[in-house]
Amino acid sequence: MMAGRLCCSVIVLLALYAQTDAASQTVNQDLSDIFNELWKLDVNRMKPGTDYRISLQGKAGYIPSGSTTATDHASAPLFSYVDMDKLNTITTYTRFMKLLDNYERSTGVAERVTSEEVAENNAFLDAVLESAVMKRAHQYLVNKGKSQSNLRQFKSQLYYMWFRLYHRDRNGGEDSSGFEHVFVGETKFGKEIMGLHNWVQFYLQEKQNLLDYKGYKARSNDVPDEDDHVLNVQFSWHGLVKPVGSTFLGVSPEFEMAVFSILFLTSTEKTTTAVVNLDEYQLELVVHRHGRSIGTSYPKLLSSNNRHL
């Protein structure tokens, strides 16, 4: 009888080890390595508690997609403080923020891009290309045969991926771009929030009382901390509710653009997902392509504070 129990215990243990091994195989080590390099190079990342402070408050409840109301589990904004003076001294942030008012929020409404806005796009990319983060990302992509070493050609590749206008809604003209969707946010048919995965835009919309943070989303055994750099959130924006959105916190725009450009260019799948271990987080990174441009990209927090190790 004892031998039978022992045998069963061994089988259970072996099954658990097999599951653990299988889980570890899902992590993309090559991407984890390059993204951790970029993480260390991101000198423009803001420091939690110093450059910005967040107030997590309550855990948001479940609501179905398309809802216009949600119980508010956070009476105060997510961001209790952001050092705008510091942001305004960093070129990539200042040029990034100039782009945030260049877009029509609703899909189906054609974008009209002025020559001034094109100049702003180019100025932002020029600043990004001067950063250590994007220089390393460029080197990585050249080594993988996914980008040309010529800087002008690489800039054109980035411009096409992020700023080329395309049809997201079949009605109307060219109404969307990768940059607008990911960094600025859009609404679909006046019923759904799409994109808006950037923390600076989140903060600025909160500041204007256009966005209302409803609480964080997390498993009960993985409650976030206020110094976390990745967060799953629920929020309302212009009268619509996003059941769950995910965002990096404090990272520079060049870091986000570098990470998702690498993920986009190293795959040909319509939707590319990769599980990576980045700093103390385990993330599922997602990129959906729209032809040769980015349709959407975002980080999905799987585990924080090294709980996955």
Pair of tokens at residue 148: 């040309």
**3-state secondary structure (DSSP) of residue 73:** coil
State the catalytic residue, choosing from 197, 214, 217, 229. 197
Cα–Cα dist 156/140, whole Å: 17
State the catalytic residue, choosing from 138, 181, 229, 290. 181
Pair of tokens at residue 188: 């679909």
Q: Does residue 197 have an active-site annotation?
A: yes
β-strand pairing of 281-290 with 293-303: antiparallel
Q: Does residue 73 have an active-site annotation?
A: no
State the catalytic residue, choosing from 138, 214, 229, 242. 242
Residues with a known catalytic role: 181, 197, 242
